[in-house]
Amino acid sequence: MSNLLNISSSPHVRDKSSTKSIMWDVFLALLPAALFGIYNFSIKAKSINAVLLIVVCIATCVLTEYIWETCMKLPLTVSDGSAALTGLLLALNLSSTFPVWMAIIGSVFAILVVKQLFGGIGQNFMNPALGARCFLMVSFAGQMTSFTYDGVTGATPLAIIKTGKIPEGLSEPGLLDMFLGNIGGTIGETSAIALLIGAAYLLYKKIITWKIPVCYIVTFAIFFLIFGTNMDGVASMDITVLCKELCGGGLILGAFFMATDYVTSPITPNGQIIFGVILGLLTGIFRVFGASAEGVSYAIIISNLLVPLIERWTIPVPFGKEGLKDE
């Protein structure tokens, strides 16, 4: 009873979660997608490149953070898992054939430029892994858009759906193959079921809430049903095509693992809903009307920039505080 009468400064409600536990939980949730990517692009393809990219990206991010914080005489934070998580996310956003030296440049950019130069964890204005992915997309567009699956180099399923052109040696992507991951793409985005297993873990552990990913996916689905077209270029209103759009590309990876980043997403409940709706609209615009079949990365980064404005207009009124009076 005496514990209830203690008087102390805020916060009055505390949680056992820590930055370290949250980061490693997200890392653990990404392992199903990472392991499937290793199976799909290393074991089946008899190549170590997917494994090598994952290891190199994680190691480079951790090492970059350690060197920077040591040189700047800052507290070491490599053990909190944020750098390792950034490296894993970046690797999962790369093609299995992506050159390792380019991946190293991207990893250094993620930690040094996007994260540390803005003050370290909690201060970055965009997701470091996505910032690095967009940097690599601009710098090495050819390598970032080159995908190989089962020995055949060609477009991703989303590109095939968008253009209606099926490259020689490939077939029209099937929904089941896209759901399971038997398709080409980046290392971590191909298997929708592996990503959903990880997402279910995060929701069960209450690391994330449903608001951002569900509002994101539902908004995109509505937008695509209204404005999307099928492989013949006519308005689709086709649930099968929509399901392929949801399973293909980085939509699920982005919705559950990157758009929900604590630092770069709103903390207000209404803000999270608005944030998710904006993400869905931007992704729909990029995918339907843009030149690329993707768009998730750019949608999240642009929405990250809007977070301060979203929170400004959705911050709850403090308990007991009167509304603004007319002047």
How many domains in the chain? 1
Asked if residue 322 belongs to a domain, the reply is: no
Query: Are residues 66 and 108 in contact, defined by beta-carbon separation less than 8 angstroms?
Result: no
Q: Kindly provide the residue ranges of all beta strands, DSSP E only, lying in 126-247, ordered along the sequence.
A: 147-149, 152-154
Nearest Cα to 56, choosing from 103, 115, 98?
A: 103
Asked if residue 47 belongs to a domain, the reply is: yes
Identify the band that residue 296 occupies on the pLDDT scale cut at 50, 70 and 90: very high
Better-scored residue on pLDDT, 220 or 249:
220
Identify the band that residue 13 occupies on the pLDDT scale cut at 50, 70 and 90: low
Asked if residue 215 belongs to a domain, the reply is: yes
Residues 52-85: pLDDT tens digits? 999 999 999 999 999 999 999 999 888 888 999 9
Query: Are residues 280 and 286 in contact, defined by beta-carbon separation less than 8 angstroms?
Result: no
Range of the domain at 276: 19-312
Query: Are residues 56 and 106 in contact, defined by beta-carbon separation less than 8 angstroms?
Result: no
- Residue 38 amino acid letter: I
> Would you state the pLDDT for residue 154?
62
Contacts of 324 (CB under 8 A, 6+ apart): none
Asked if residue 107 belongs to a domain, the reply is: yes
Query: Are residues 27 and 71 in contact, defined by beta-carbon separation less than 8 angstroms?
Result: no
Asked if residue 2 belongs to a domain, the reply is: no
Asked if residue 204 belongs to a domain, the reply is: yes
11, two tokens: 């916060």
Residues 216-230: pLDDT tens digits? 999 999 999 888 765
Residue 283 CA, distance from chain mean position: 13
Asked if residue 319 belongs to a domain, the reply is: no
Angle (CA) 24 30 34, round 5°: 125
Asked if residue 12 belongs to a domain, the reply is: no
Angle (CA) 16 20 26, round 5°: 100
Q: How far apart are CA 178 and CA 157, in angstroms?
A: 8
Residues 250-260: pLDDT tens digits? 899 999 999 99
Nearest Cα to 41, choosing from 91, 84, 80, 3?
A: 91
Q: How far apart are CA 242 and CA 231, in angstroms?
A: 12
> Would you state the pLDDT for residue 106?
96
Q: How much is the average pLDDT of 37-50?
A: 86
Angle (CA) 222 226 231, round 5°: 110
Q: For position 110, which CATH number holds?
A: 1.10.3430
CB atoms within 10 A of CB 226: 12
